[in-house]
A and B are shown apart, each in its own frame.
Chain A
Amino acid sequence: MIGSSAAQAQLLAERAGLSARLAALAGLVEIGSARRSTDGFGDDLLAEANDLLTRAGERLMLSADHTVVALAGGTGSGKSSLFNRLAGADFSAVGVTRPVTSEVHACVWGVSGSGPLLQWLGVPRRYRYARSSALDSGEQSMSGLVLLDMPDHDSVMGHSTDLVDRLVGLSDLMIWVLDPQKYADAAVHRRFLVPLAGHSEVVAVVLNQADVLTAAQIEDCVLDLRRLLDSENLHDVQILVTSATTGAGIEELRKLLINAVSARRASAARISADVDKIVVQFAPYGELADEGADLRVPARASGSLAAKFAGAAGVEAIGDSLRSARELRATDYIGWPITWLAERLRTRDPVRKIRLGRLWQELREISTGPTGAQQAEIDLALTQLADEVAPPLPPPWSRTVRAAIRSRADAIPAALGTEISDALPLERSAERWWRVVGVGQGLLLGCALVGLAWFGALLAVGVFHAGSGLPRLFSSVLLLPAAALLVIVALLGGWIMARSCSDAVSSAAETETRLLEDDIRRRMTGVAQDLVVAPADLELSELDRYRGELEVARGHGRLEVETASFPA
C-alpha cells in the first residue's frame, strides 16, 4: 500500500510546503482583515480565503490515504451510469425522467479510516457503499478511492446546486461528465469550469455517451471541447471518451483513478491549486510599481516634512523675536543713556499720550513664548508627504499609509508647541555683564555729570568769580579743559561702550538664536519622526510583511510540484 520511502519522503515534504503556504495565506488574511475595504481586501475575498483555510485544514487533518473523486456533470450526462460502471454494481439509480440523482452517493475502496472523511463530505450514511470485498478481487490498486456520484447542478431542483458547489469545493479530483448534447452548456462552463482554471492537474473531463456518435463525430466533438477548455485556461485537462452503455473507455477512466489514488497527492494538489488561485487575487495588493523600492518613508521626505513643521511653527520668526527681545532688553542696561533721553524728549509716544501706559508695558513684555503651529499648515505638509509616499503603493495600502501619516495629525500642533517652549531659554532678566556694563554706563554718566558740574563750577568760580574761598580745584580756569575733557571722555566712552556692547549683544543674540533655531529644528524632526514617520513606517513594514507572506504563499521555491499527478 505504501510506496517507497523516497516517494513518501517527497509526499511529506510536499505537505510541509503546503502547510507553509497555508500559513502564509493565513498571514495574508490576517493582514488583509485589518484593512478590509472596497478598494482592496473585499469581504468576498477574505471570506473565500478563510473558507479555503478552514477547508484545507480539515482536509489535511482527515485521511491522507483516501482520494476523493467527484463525478460531476449536468442532468442526463450519465454520471450515475458511470458511477455504477466503476463501482461494478447498481448503487445509484438511473432513469429517463430528469433529474434522477438528488443526493450524493459515495463508493469507497478500502474502508478503513474513511468514516470521518465521508462524514466531513456530508455523504448520508445510507448512500455510502463499500468495495472492501472487491479489494481481494484485483481492485487492490484502487484502495483509497472515494468516488462520489454527485447530483446534477443544472436542473430546476435548485436544492442540489448548493450541494454540488460544496462538494466541488471539497473533493480532491473532479471528473466532469459531459455528453455530446450538453458539452458546451453555459451552466457547467460558466459556473464550474471557468472558476477551476489553473486546476488542470485535478480536473478531468469525460465525454460520455460516445456510443451515440460516430468515430468522426467523436473526434470533432473532442476537438471542439478541447478548444473550449483551452479558451477557459484549462489547457492540460485530460479528456476521456467513454460510454457507460457499451463500456468503452471505462478502463482508461479506471486507470486514471488508480493513478490518482496511488500517487495519494491529489488532495494536496487540489488545495495547492486552490491556494494558487486565491493568491493570485491577493497578489495585486502586494504589487509595487518599483519592485526594488525601499518600503520606508524616504529620509528626504521626512526631512522636508520637518522643515515644513519648522516653517509652520515659525522657527525663523521665533529666532527673530528672540534676538529682538535680547537686544531690546540689553539696551536697557548697556544703552547709552543720552540716546534714550533724547528719544524720550524728542518724540511723543502716542500710546503714552493716550494713557495706555500699562498696555505699553505689556506690549514691551511680549517677547517669546510657546506658540505651537497652525493645524492648516500641518495638514498641508502631511498631505504633501502622503502624496509623495502613497501613490506608488497598491490600492488599499496607499490609503492605509495615508491614514497612518495622518493618524496623529491633531496632536502635532500641541507637540510642536511643547517642543518649542522646551527649547526656548528661560527668561533671564539680564546677563551679568550687562549689569556690569550698566554700572559702567552709570559711572560714565556720573563722570559726565560730575565733569559737567565741575565745568560749571570752574566756569562760575574761575571765570565769573562767583564765589571765593573755594579750593583751586574748582576755581582754576586752567582746569576748564580738563573738566571739558572729562565730560567729553565720559560721554564718548559711554557711547563707545554702548556701541561696542550692543554689537557684542547682537552677536551673542545671533549665536543664541542660531543655536535655538537648530535646536527647534532638531526637535521638529523628532516630532515628525514620532508622530508621522513612525506610524507610516509601521504601516509600510506591514506591507513588507505582506509581500513576504505573499511570496511564501505563492510557493516560490518552497513547493516543487510535478507537472502531472497522473499520466496522460
Chain B
Amino acid sequence: MTERQDLAAAPAPWSGAGGPVPAAPESAAAGPGGQAAGGTADQAVQAGAAESSAPGPGQGLSGTGWPQTGPQWQPALPAAESGTQAATTADRDAQASGEAPRPVWARPASAVGEPQDQGGPSEPDESDEPYARVDARKLEAALLGLRKPVVSVPLLLAAPDVEAARAERLKLLSQIDDYLLPRLRQSGAPILVALVGSTGAGKSTLLNSLVGRQVSATGIRRPTTNSPVLACHPNDMRWFAENVFLPTLPRVRQQGLAMPGRDGLLVLAAAEGMPEGVAVLDTPDIDSVVKAHRDFANQFLDASDLWLFVTTARRYADKAVWEMLKDARNRGAALAIALSRVPTSAAAELAAHFDAMLDANGLRDVRRFIIPETIVTEAQLPAEVATPIKEYLADTARRDDRRVAVLTQTMSGVLDTFRERVPALADHASAQLRISRDLQTAAAAAYSAALAEFDEATKNGSLLHGEVMARWQDFAGTGDLLKALQVRRGRGQAAKGKKQRLPARAAALRAALDASLESLIAAMADRAAEHAVAAWQENTAGAALLGRTPAARSSETGTAEETDFVASALADLGILDASAAAEHPGPAALGRSSAGLAVRAERAVSTWQDHVLHLVRAENVTKRSIARVVSFDESSLALVLAIGVLGYGAAEVSATDDGGEPPQRLLTSLFGAGLLRDIGVRVRQDLHDRVSLLYEEESRRFVELIDRAGTLDETIATELLQAGFTLEDAR
C-alpha cells in the first residue's frame, strides 16, 4: 500500500544520527560543544574500557564483572549521562548548521586505544562518586518486600481520591512486575524500546521500516493499531515468549504477514532485520478516542527501557503530546523523539520550533530525529529515512555503555519516583484508616447523642405527657391509686399477694408507660440512624458504602474486569474481592432503626419494669420507709415508683412535701427522700444501661458495613514506608 504524499521523498540530510557510522573521534572534540564533549570522552573511554572486561549480558547486574566502574543502578551514572548529553548537543548543533551528521556514538569505541585525557573538570567528580555497588538480589528482595504491602494496601473506602490511589497502586505493581523485577532478574534481556505517540504519527510504519518488512498493520483509519506488536531478532524471542515479560498479557506469535490482532493481545514478530539485543514495541496511540489504548500504551511504557516517542509536524503542539513527554521527563525514562511527516519545505523551521519547545520543557538533552513526509511503500519508509533511527537503536543495543546508560536511566528514574509515590500510597493507606475511624465515630456520635436525648427525656418529665399523663390522672384521680396502696386483708391475701393482678387503670397506665418508653427508644434510634446516614452521606466514602447494594457491587466488579486487564491478575492476588457481599441494607433501611428494634425495646422495657419491681422487693422499701406501717401492693408501688422516677427530675426527688408533683410527694412521703434518690438513680441507670445496649447493637450495623468492605490493616502504612526505605537502602 502506498500513501500518496504531498511531497516527494527526500533524503534526510538533517535527520538525526543518520548515515553510516564511521569512526571519527576528532569530530566530537572539534564540534561546537567541544569542551563538554571532550570532557565526557574521557569518561566514555573509561566506561568503554571497563566494558571490554565485562562479561556478557546476563551477568552484568551481579556486579562481579564491574571491578571499578561507577554504580550501575545509581540514580545517575555520570559518564553515561553526560555522554548522552554531549552527543545530543553535538548532534543538534550539527542539524542546526546543516552539517553532515556526525557519528557520535561510534567515537568512544574507537577511542579505546587512545584515551584523550583532556576532560579534567568532571574527573574529580567522578572519582568522588561513592561506588555503591548494587546487589541485584538485595534490590530484588527489597522490591518484593515493597510489593507485598503495595498489594495489600486496603483501598476499600471510596475516599475522594481513592480511584487515583487504586490506579496508582496498579501502576506501581505493573512497574514492579512488568519492568523492575524482570529487568533485575534478567539483566541480559534485550532493550525494550516502546514506540509511543499520537495516532496517525506513523508508529507502525516506522516499526515496519526498522524491521524491514511489514509486521504491523498500517492504514488510514484512526486509531490503526489495536493490538501491540513486538518485533525483535529471532534469537531474542526467548526473552519475550516466556511468561517473564508482561506476565499478565496474553500473546501470540506472528505467523506470516501483519495481521490485525485482537485488542489486548500482544503480537510477537521475529524478524531477521532487527538488530540483536533490542526489541521494538509498537503500541496503540495515546490520544485517540479509544481510552483503552491509552491505558494499554501506559502499561507498555511502564515496562519498557527506552521510549521512542513519535509525533508529527501537525501534532507536535498538541497538549496530549506534551503531557506524555512531561510524564517521561518526570519519571526520568530514557527517551528519544521522532518528529515525522515533516514537509521538506518547512523542515528547518519546524525543527527549530520543535527544539525550542523541547528546550522550554526541559527536554533539551533528548535525542531527536526528523522523518520527512515521504512516499510510503509497502507500509515502510524509504530505507535512508529510517536508517538513523535503526542505527541509533542498534548502537544502543550493541554498546554496553549505551546499554547500561539507558537501562540505568530508566530504572533509576522509576525507582526515583518510588521515593514519593510509596509514601503517597502510605498516606492513602492511613487516610483509609482515618476515614474508617471518622465514619465509625460519626455513627457512634449519632447514637450517643440519641442516648443523651433519651436520658434527658427520662429526666425532664417530658415522658409524663400525652397518654401516660392522662392514664396517671385517671389512675390517681379516681382513687384507684389509693385503693392499690391499701392494705389487703383477708384470708389468702398474703399467700397470693405476689400474684396479684394490677387494677385495670393501673394496667392501662403501665401499658401507656411501656408504650411511651418504647416509642421514645424507637424515635431516638430512628433519629440517630438518620443522623448517622446523613453524616455518612456527607463523606464520599460513607456515601459509597451506603450506596453499595449487592447489584451495584457486582456490576462494579464486572466493569472492572472488562476494562482493566490487570484486574484479573489482581483478583488472583485477592485485591479485588470477587466474593459478593451478603444481603446488604441500603441507605433507606439504614436510615431507620432496625426491624427488630421494636421487639428488643419491648423486651428491654419489660425487663426494666421487672427490675424496678425487684428493687422494690429486694430493697425492702416498705420496711425501710414510713410505708412500713401499711403494706402495699408491690406491683402498684413499682409502677408509681417508675412514674415518679421517670416523670420528675432527679433534682425534684429531694423536694419536700411542699414542692414537686403529687406522685413525687407521695413517693417522698412513702420512701423518704434519701432512699428515693438512691433508688431513683439506680432505676434510671438500669434503664440507661439497657437502652445503651440496644443502641450499641443498632450502631453496629454501621460498623458492619465498614467491616463488610474489608478489613483495614493498621500497620500497612508503616510497612509501606519501611519497605520504601529498605528499597532506597538497597539501591
Contact = CB atoms under 8 A, between A and B. Distances in A.
A binds B: yes
Interface of A: 38, 74-77, 96-99, 154-158, 179-187, 189-190, 211-214, 217, 220-221, 224, 228, 311-314, 316-318, 320-321, 324-325, 328, 347-351, 353-354, 356, 359-360, 362-369, 371-377, 379-380, 383, 387, 391, 413, 416-417
A218 to B, nearest CB: 9
B206 to A, nearest CB: 15
Contact of B523 (A98, A190, A221, A376): A376
A181 B321 CA distance: 14
A228 B289 CA distance: 9
A474 B279 CA distance: 147
A214 B245 CA distance: 41
Contacts of B289: 184-186, 189-190, 228
B288 A324 contact: no
Given A312-B466, A354-B669, A379-B527, 7 more contacts: A180-B222, A181-B314, A185-B199, A313-B467, A314-B466, A354-B627, A366-B476
Contact of B457 (A186, A228, A376): A376
A339 to B, nearest CB: 14
B352 to A, nearest CB: 8
Nearest to B626: A354
A180 B200 contact: yes
Contact of A363 (B322, B526, B632, B662): B662
Contact of B317 (A98, A217, A314, A356): A98
A241 B320 CA distance: 26
Nearest to B323: A156
Top 10 closest pairs, chain A to chain B, by CB: A314-B467, A317-B470, A76-B314, A98-B317, A321-B474, A184-B222, A96-B346, A376-B523, A314-B470, A373-B466
Given A181-B222, A371-B469, A75 B629 contact: no
A182 B314 contact: yes
Given A180-B200, A373-B466, A383-B526, A97 B508 contact: no
A367 B520 contact: no
A364 B473 CA distance: 9
A374 B662 contact: no
Contact of B471 (A220, A317, A359): A317
Contact of B349 (A96, A156, A228, A321): A96
A320 B341 CA distance: 99
Contact of A220 (B198, B220, B537): B220
Contacts of A74: 318
Given A184-B223, A220-B221, A328-B478, A96 B350 contact: yes
A109 to B, nearest CB: 30
Interface string B458-486: 00001101111111111011110110011
Contact of B465 (A211, A213, A372): A372
Interface residues of B, number: 82
A316 B468 CA distance: 11
A93 B346 CA distance: 16
Contact of A371 (B322, B465, B632): B465
B477 A366 contact: yes
B519 interface: yes
Contacts of B627: 354
Given A179-B314, A321-B474, A377-B519, A371 B466 contact: yes
19 contacts: A75-B318, A96-B349, A98-B316, A156-B317, A184-B290, A187-B318, A187-B320, A190-B289, A313-B470, A314-B467, A314-B471, A353-B629, A353-B630, A354-B627, A371-B473, A376-B457, A376-B516, A376-B519, A379-B527
Contact of B287 (A187, A317, A371): A187
B482 A360 contact: yes
A184 B288 contact: yes
Nearest to A322: B474
A97 B346 CA distance: 8
B522 interface: yes
B531 to A, nearest CB: 13
B662 A413 contact: no
B498 interface: no
B486 A312 contact: no
A153 B263 CA distance: 30
Contacts of A186: 287-289, 291, 294, 320
A363 B477 contact: yes
A156 B319 contact: yes
Contacts of A320: 470-471, 474, 505, 508
Interface in B5-26: 5-6
B343 A96 contact: yes
Nearest to B2: A214
B582 to A, nearest CB: 24
A375 B314 contact: no
Nearest to B520: A376
A368 B287 CA distance: 82
B315 A391 contact: no
Contacts of B520: 374, 376
Contacts of B350: 96-97
Contact of B662 (A98, A181, A348, A362): A362
A353 B669 CA distance: 12
Given A181-B314, A367-B477, A158 B319 contact: yes
A212 B474 contact: no
Contacts of A417: 465
Contacts of B665: 359
B112 interface: no
A387 B508 CA distance: 30
B487 interface: yes
Contacts of B471: 314, 317, 320-321
Contacts of A99: 317
Contacts of A77: 314
A359 B632 CA distance: 17
Given A190-B289, A220-B221, A359-B662, A97 B349 contact: yes
Interface string B314-342: 11111111100000000000000000010
Contacts of A380: 519, 522-523, 526
A313 B588 CA distance: 29
A221 B5 contact: no
A487 to B, nearest CB: 30
B353 A363 contact: no
Contacts of A379: 523, 526-527
Residue of B4, B465, B519, B629 contacting most chain A CB atoms (<10 Å): B465
Contacts of A324: 474, 477-478, 505
Interface in B442-461: 457
Nearest to B483: A347
Contacts of A156: 317-319, 321-322, 357
B89 interface: no
A212 B469 CA distance: 94
B220 A221 contact: yes
B431 interface: no
Contacts of A187: 287, 318-320
B314 A325 contact: no
A356 to B, nearest CB: 6
A125 B108 CA distance: 60
Given A228-B289, A314-B467, A75 B314 contact: yes
A98 B287 CA distance: 17
B524 interface: yes
B645 interface: no
Contacts of A311: 467
A98 B314 contact: yes
Contacts of A356: 666, 669
A551 B602 CA distance: 50
Interface in B326-375: 341, 343, 345-346, 349-350, 353, 357
B695 to A, nearest CB: 14
Given A75-B318, A228-B289, A376-B523, A318 B477 contact: no
Contacts of B482: 349-351, 360, 363
Residue of A324, A363, A383, A416 contacting most chain B CB atoms (<10 Å): A363
Residue of B198, B527, B630 contacting most chain A CB atoms (<10 Å): B630
